[in-house]
Amino acid sequence: MKKALKITGIALLIVIALLIALPLAFKSQIKDMVKRFINDNLNAHVEFSDVSLSFIKNFPQAHIGVDDLVITNFEPFKDEVFTSVKNIAFTMSVKELFKTADEGPLTINAIYINEAILNLKTDENGNVNYDITKPSEDTTSKSNENNFSFDIQDYKIINSSLNYSDASSKINMRITNLNHQGKGIFSANTSELDTSTEALVSFSMDSTNYLNNNSIKLNAIINLDLTNNKYTFKDNKGFINQLPIEFSGYVQLMENGQNIDISFENPESDFKNFLALIPENYSKNIENVETSGDFKVQGRIYGTILEDNIPKFSIKIASNNASFKYPDLPKRVENIFINTIIQNNSGQTDDTYINVNALNFQIDNDIFESRLSLKNITKNMLVNADINGTLNLGNITKVYPIELDTPLSGILKAKLNTVFDMKAIETNAYARIKNNGSLDISDFMFSSEDIVNPIHISQANMTFNPGTINLNNFRAKTGDSDLNVTGTIQNLLGFLLSDNTLQGNFKLTSDLFKVSDFMTESEETPKEKKTTTTETLKIPKFLDCTINASAKTVVYDNLNLKDVKGTLILKDQQATLKDMSSSIFNGKLAVNGIVSTQTETPSFQINLGADGFDISESFKGMALLQNLAPIAKLLEGKLNTNIGLSGNLDNEFTPQLNSLSGNAIAELLATKISPDQTALFSKLEGALNFVDFNKLDLKDLKTKFEFNNGQVSVKPFQVKFQDITIDISGSHGFDKKLNYNAVFNVPAKYLGNEVNQLIAKIDSEETKKINVPVTTNISGTLADPSVKTDLTSSITNLTKQLVVIQKQKLLNQGKDKVKNMLGDLIGNNQSKSDSLKKQQNNAIKDVVSGIFNNRQPKVDSASVNKPKMDSTNTNANQTKETVKNVLGGLFGNKKTKDTIN
């Protein structure tokens, strides 16, 4: 006995070892089998990470697993993922593994699919991405020799999803959290399949959502008639959200389509079933809700499904004199009437229509009635709607457990009829848009995290006309700001129902408009976060409107603008400011320009005109002026300027200083230096003590400057202090660094005692006209300036210049005395002969020429060779001696005597 047990144990161990080891030996064969199936059956690119084989998981059957399966399409959906599966497993008889290609197809007994994503797509041309199976070459048995056959008794799809989109019909469906399983025998001619399904379903058609993550549950027993390809539903019960639905009928596959006939209804008629149809996230717990009246859903879908044909259907939803009240809420909704039909009698999609003949209810004494008709849904949908009633918005949260981010309040009154087709909305064909009626809102209060203060609309009244809507009155208040708006809206329905822009013309008035009342406060950045993602403000693309604005006071940051008027045009994500004017800084401001958010970084291009600005106030209040002309804040008086600038804006719509470029022309009127001088003027006065900067003549000063990349270049301009002119030019940066040159054209008399003594000795008109250029370089910053001058070298050069002038003056005086004395000599010898006069004059010229040309007087060679002089030569010589004596008396210094001798 022990020996038998020992042999049995050893055998079991060998079997277990073989069950573990054999899959490793057959792994390559399994991979070849999977690849063979793929290549023989699919026109697609297939990848998988691994294939596994186990004889233990589903003993005595073999378990084959394929991991990370990805199938991508060929053209026209090249490289798009058709399906991806985390794991797909098959079970089959072990003997199936040893079949050769000639022994027929492999038989699969069970399939398990885990985390699959299936994407089904139809493009605008009708191409589908799921037609990836290869066609059979013939109808003989050999055509299927490499395929699989199915004898499935069990299958599961776990945590999977399906996406379906049809671009031609604009239908989109998404099934998520899909868990489905079934048991049956597919190999028999007739059998039953027991299934269980849970999923979340979303469905939309032509941008309209009909289901949005609605919970679907279905437990169905399906009779399988494989001979006739007919599948009959019996003992079936499903749930749409919490609404139970029972259905019966069949689906039969035909050669070119399907034949279908299914009827359904909710088994109970309690109005609580209506609440059950609403997703539980919104309806909450409806178990204890008090209801009265009935609610019934009945429908039938029948007919043939072909390529160009849908089944006929009729769905009726009705409720009569119903009511409901949640136990924890104070008010009840009463007199609920619902009468809706969704129908298609022809099988053509264009003939589908929806008639909401009544959707009425009452809260307290407020009655609200509505009606809606939709026809030609899949093409150019025709809409006819009526609204008539009163609704207290504050009662919404008192009758229904809806969670609003911010509470609502106010009274809505509407009496409105609208008739239109969708193409008229899309193309702004106003003649086909028929609007009639009115809408009133009073005491409406709205708040949100996106705004700083709640908005209180005290009154709003709109009149609906064909093509246009008149905003007769709109009065609102938020924070300290008040608004009063009137105007016209051209295509409100196009904006609400399509992708059209909102067009309109408005007139806005306000007593007080604080910009801060309309801005969102920025949140503090956590210290542990190194980077943050901020979204740049954008001018909405859908706006196409003109606003003529007028405000008595506009407060922006620390600026108070009075009597603001102008036009604001919003279009194509741009805001155009046109002829905007305001009173500020005891002057007038004019603004024209554009702010654009078309690109990722907002930009602006604007012209500012200032007329009669108080310099001190304006430079304290406007950072832009402080950066363009920082030194001007030291002045008092009036300013006129025109500034053209462009640049980028940051996330809070504040100009980025380093991006600014442009130019400006400034004019100062009746201006003087502020008594509160800074270090700059103190250092200038220390270096140039002959200038009193408090008395600079700045009246009617004009200058021009340009700026780019954070640098301001100031064109040369001139100011005066008494008879001193000052030429100034240079540049500074938005970083406050200065680089200026000031050339002081200083009359010589201001340059010290030594210079003035020289001037006194000379005492000529020429010295009175001498101006000495003194160059001053200003660097550093306005708060800590550096002042350097060339005053010392200028004075030295001036002194040398005055010495030269004095010498020239003495020489000129000597000439004048000689001329006078010679004139006297000549005048006393009038009786001399003309010949003698001529000789005397020549002698005088020779002497003077010798003196002032530093040369010996010329001697006539003819007279030198003569042995003796006549009386005429004697007189000439006497005249020369007389001149020498006179000049010697005039120039008593040795140098002069040597020159004369």
Q: What is the pLDDT of residues 485-516, one digit of tens each?
A: 999 988 777 777 666 788 889 999 999 988 77
Residue 710 has pLDDT above 70, yes or no: yes
Q: What is the pLDDT of residues 691-701, one digit of tens each?
A: 777 777 777 77
C-alpha 340, offset from chain centre = 44
Q: What is the 3-state secondary structure (H, E, C) of 482-551?
A: EEEEEEEECCHHHHHHCCCCEEEEEEEEEEEEEHHHHCCCCCCCCCCCCCCCCCCCCCCCCEEEEEEEEE
Q: What is the pLDDT of residues 765-779, one digit of tens each?
A: 666 667 788 888 988
pTM above 0.85, yes or no: no
Mean pLDDT on 711-719: 85
CA distance 143 to 135: 10
Structure tokens at 505: 């013309």
Residue 853 has pLDDT above 60, yes or no: no
Query: Which ranges of 829-900 does DSSP label H, i.e. alpha helix?
Result: 834-853, 861-864, 871-890, 894-900
Structure tokens at 32: 């070849």
Higher-confidence residue: 13 or 617? 617
pLDDT at 42: 77
The neighbour count for residue 683, using CB atoms within 10 Å, is 18
DSSP of 619-653: HHH-HHHHHH-GGGGGEEEEEEEEEEEEEEB-TTS
pLDDT at 411: 93
Amino acid in the structure at residue 514: K
Residue 142 has pLDDT above 60, yes or no: no
Higher-confidence residue: 446 or 141? 446
pLDDT band for 357, please (50, 70, 90 cuts): very high
CA distance 127 to 245: 35
pLDDT band for 60, please (50, 70, 90 cuts): low
pLDDT band for 874, please (50, 70, 90 cuts): low
pLDDT at 10: 45
pLDDT at 18: 42
Residue 756 has pLDDT above 80, yes or no: no
pLDDT at 822: 61
Mean pLDDT is highest, among 8-17, 241-250, 517-526, for: 241-250
Residue 564 has pLDDT above 60, yes or no: yes
pLDDT at 257: 77
pLDDT at 356: 94
Residue 862 has pLDDT above 50, yes or no: no
Q: What is the pLDDT of residues 401-437, one digit of tens each?
A: 887 777 788 999 999 998 888 888 777 777 788 889 9
Average pLDDT of the chain to the nearest whole number: 77
Residue 372 has, within 13 A of its CA and on its CB side, a CA count of 12
Residue 165 has pLDDT above 70, yes or no: yes
pLDDT at 866: 44
Higher-confidence residue: 754 or 725? 725
